[in-house]
Chains A and B, each alone.
Chain A
Amino acid sequence: MKIDFKTLRADFPLLKQTNRGKPLVYLDNSATNQKPRCVIDAISHYYTHDNANIHRGVYELSERATREYEKTRVTIKSFINAKHAHEIVFVRGATEGINLVAQSYGRTHFKVLDEIMISTMEHHSNIVPWQMLADQVGANLRIIPITDDGEIDMDAYQKLFTERTKMVAIAHASNALGTVNPIKEMIRIAHTHDVPVLVDGAQAFPHMPVDVQDLDCDFYVFSSHKAYGPTGIGVLYGKEKLLESMPPYQGGGDMIESVTFAKTTYNKVPFRFEAGTPDIAGVIGFGVALAYLKNIGMDNIAAHEQELLNYATQKLSAIPELKIIGVAKNKVGVISFVLKDVHPHDIGTVLDAHGIAIRAGHHCAMPVMERFQLPATVRASFGLYNNTADIDALVTGLQEVQRIFK
């Protein structure tokens, strides 16, 4: 089916507004993306008609809320081709998913001098939870280096394995460079050493088809708000066997089987990890976002965004004194760049005045900035509703930047 991406833009009410008096050109999709009308309506519908607490009411309303909530779990299971719906754990976002694995899996399975492998290009949320864990259990972090193009150094990766390696935690796609990592191959290699792999899919899940069984990853995390769904909700996928081996992350309601002051027994997976009342509306809204994406087709979205990436790479490369940071062969629609003698924050402010929303800064990936010896970069990142006119506006804005700072 041929999708007309131009017409899809009309599904996103927020994009109709202006930014500092100019039509909004939203190119900060890696930070979060805008929501289609159907998602906004679903949340409003839920609070208007279906709101009740889940998994506990004996009345129809609560059963309906529970059914809608659990339906999303099944939607996600099919979306990423997990084997079982109970391998889908609802969390607040990719960040909480990683913290959950670090604290629940890591604290019970790692000991002094064990090693956790992450890469130079990780988002802080795939660094700090492991650092905290390493401090708690006396483990060490091992860092997989990246090349000047912004790709994983695969030789170095293979050589980093020791008998103490207990986990590899790696981004599927980098938010700072756009690099798509060869995670299937990396997982295969890790498994030859019997090491489980957590994949941070925050920047990949919204932009390409993901099949967790094909990848054979042990954990996969992502956030709804970067995939056209509401904020405050995300997913931890974990293989059944691993989730079963993990103690609860937080204590509270819903995660228990029975409680006495002498002893509490825990609920089964995934409820064991979902203490307290979750973001029910968020989960339901996310289910609607996924149905929306499925209808368009992740393959189509990936192809559309690759076209934008190619167009933007070509246009930006033609700007004198502009340097693209991260030129991996396989990238998502993310372009980080710097302009000679103009600080990214000044570029951001000038673009803002032209209605263009981009990100300027270290993108929560300070080790990447250090690797490339830069204080910051400018980042444009694309979503399904962007088109070449957005990129043309960016180019015009950058020409204005160069005029001001000539």
Chain B
Amino acid sequence: MAGLRELYQEVIVDHSKHPRNFGELDNPTFRKDGFNPLCGDKLTLTISENNNVIEQIRFQGCGCAISVASASLMSEALQGKSRTEINAIFHDFHQLVTQGHNTILEIRLGKLAILAGVAEYPARVKCATLAWHTLNAAITGDTKQVSTE
């Protein structure tokens, strides 16, 4: 139950109900759809980039609380970051949600670390990482549809 309370703590529920950066950019540098066939989570990311810096991220779509909160938190955390920084954060984040609590990672990830509780629910890791995989595919120019399956 401790795990449950951690997974659905207030910040996560709040981000799922009131997602930040929800919507679409008018002239995005990148646009990408992501799909989690298991849950039916779907999202569309629009991203603007300038000089290797991700300036704005917007997302739209529907999904479970974990996938929406993760997309919302991601959009907040990554705006203004360079590609290199984003790579490093993605790497840390992925490790945290698959392997669980890790003080060093949590310090580096800051607010994003509240998703660490997902690791206790392996079936939900795909929800937590959908937006991240989609963003990664968008900025690396991967043309395949992003699917967590």
A contact residues vs B (CB 8 Å cutoff) = 20-21, 341-346, 349-350, 352-353, 360-362, 369, 375-376, 404-405
Among the stretches B3-11, B25-33, B86-94, B108-116, the one at the interface with A is B3-11
Assess whether A362 is in contact with B40, with CB atoms less than 8 Å apart.
yes
Assess whether A345 is in contact with B13, with CB atoms less than 8 Å apart.
no
Assess whether B13 is in contact with A405, with CB atoms less than 8 Å apart.
yes
Assess whether A404 is in contact with B40, with CB atoms less than 8 Å apart.
no
Rounded to whole angstroms, the CA-CA distance of A344 and B65 in the bound complex is 10
Looking at the complex, which one of B1, B8, B38 makes contact with A346 (CB distance below 8 Å)? B8
Assess whether B4 is in contact with A375, with CB atoms less than 8 Å apart.
no
Assess whether B121 is in contact with A376, with CB atoms less than 8 Å apart.
no
Assess whether B65 is in contact with A376, with CB atoms less than 8 Å apart.
no
Residues of A with C-beta under 8 A to B63:
343, 375
Rounded to whole angstroms, the CA-CA distance of A260 and B105 in the bound complex is 67
Apart from A342-B65, A343-B63, list 17 A-B contacts with CB within 8 A.
A20-B3, A21-B1, A343-B64, A344-B39, A345-B39, A345-B66, A349-B123, A350-B8, A360-B39, A361-B39, A361-B40, A369-B40, A375-B39, A375-B41, A376-B39, A404-B8, A405-B8
Looking at the complex, which one of A346, A360, A369 makes contact with B65 (CB distance below 8 Å)? A346
Question: Chain B 7-50, CB within 8 Å of chain A: the 1/0 string?
Answer: 11000010001000000000000000000001111100000000
Assess whether A405 is in contact with B40, with CB atoms less than 8 Å apart.
no
Assess whether B64 is in contact with A345, with CB atoms less than 8 Å apart.
yes
Rounded to whole angstroms, the CA-CA distance of A341 and B62 in the bound complex is 11
Rounded to whole angstroms, the CA-CA distance of A341 and B1 in the bound complex is 22
In the complex, whether B71 has a CB less than 8 A from a CB of chain A is: no
Query: In the complex where A353-B1, A361-B38, A405-B13 touch, is A346 in contact with B66 (Cβ < 8 A)?
Result: yes
Closest A residue, CB atoms, query B36: A345
Rounded to whole angstroms, the CA-CA distance of A405 and B66 in the bound complex is 12
In the complex, whether B96 has a CB less than 8 A from a CB of chain A is: no
Residues of B with C-beta under 8 A to A349:
4, 7, 121, 123-124
Closest B residue, CB atoms, query A401: B8
Assess whether B8 is in contact with A375, with CB atoms less than 8 Å apart.
no
Q: List 6 A-B contacts (CB under 8 A).
A: A343-B39, A346-B8, A349-B123, A375-B41, A375-B63, A404-B13
In the complex, whether B127 has a CB less than 8 A from a CB of chain A is: yes
Closest A residue, CB atoms, query B2: A353
Interface-centre pick from B4, B13, B121 (highest chain A CB count, 10 A):
B4
Query: In the complex where A361-B40, A375-B40 touch, is A343 in contact with B65 (Cβ < 8 A)?
Result: yes
Closest B residue, CB atoms, query A352: B121
B contact residues vs A (CB 8 Å cutoff) = 1, 3-4, 7-8, 13, 17, 38-42, 62-66, 121, 123-124, 127
Q: Nearest Cβ in chain A — how far from B38, in angstroms?
A: 7
Assess whether B3 is in contact with A353, with CB atoms less than 8 Å apart.
yes
* 4 closest residue pairs by CB, A with B: A375-B40, A343-B64, A353-B4, A345-B64
Closest B residue, CB atoms, query A22: B1
Assess whether A376 is in contact with B40, with CB atoms less than 8 Å apart.
yes
Rounded to whole angstroms, the CA-CA distance of A20 and B8 in the bound complex is 16
Rounded to whole angstroms, the CA-CA distance of A360 and B127 in the bound complex is 14
Rounded to whole angstroms, the CA-CA distance of A349 and B123 in the bound complex is 9
Residues of B with C-beta under 8 A to A376:
39-40
Residues of A with C-beta under 8 A to B62:
375
Closest A residue, CB atoms, query B38: A361
Closest A residue, CB atoms, query B42: A375
Residues of A with C-beta under 8 A to B40:
361-362, 369, 375-376
Closest B residue, CB atoms, query A404: B8
Residues of A with C-beta under 8 A to B17:
341, 405
Residues of B with C-beta under 8 A to A405:
8, 13, 17, 65
Rounded to whole angstroms, the CA-CA distance of A376 and B8 in the bound complex is 20
Residues of B with C-beta under 8 A to A369:
40
Rounded to whole angstroms, the CA-CA distance of A346 and B8 in the bound complex is 9
Closest A residue, CB atoms, query B126: A345
Closest B residue, CB atoms, query A347: B64
Rounded to whole angstroms, the CA-CA distance of A361 and B4 in the bound complex is 20
Rounded to whole angstroms, the CA-CA distance of A361 and B127 in the bound complex is 13
Rounded to whole angstroms, the CA-CA distance of A101 and B127 in the bound complex is 38
Rounded to whole angstroms, the CA-CA distance of A214 and B65 in the bound complex is 49
Q: Nearest Cβ in chain B — how far from A321, in angstroms?
A: 14
Closest A residue, CB atoms, query B39: A345
Residues of A with C-beta under 8 A to B7:
349
Residues of B with C-beta under 8 A to A375:
39-42, 62-63
Rounded to whole angstroms, the CA-CA distance of A270 and B64 in the bound complex is 48
Residues of B with C-beta under 8 A to A350:
4, 8
Rounded to whole angstroms, the CA-CA distance of A216 and B4 in the bound complex is 51
Residues of B with C-beta under 8 A to A20:
3
Closest B residue, CB atoms, query A351: B4
Rounded to whole angstroms, the CA-CA distance of A349 and B1 in the bound complex is 11
Residues of A with C-beta under 8 A to B64:
343-346
Q: Nearest Cβ in chain A — how far from B141, in angstroms?
A: 29
Q: Nearest Cβ in chain B — how far from A372, in angstroms?
A: 12
Residues of B with C-beta under 8 A to A352:
121
Residues of A with C-beta under 8 A to B1:
21, 353
Residues of A with C-beta under 8 A to B42:
375
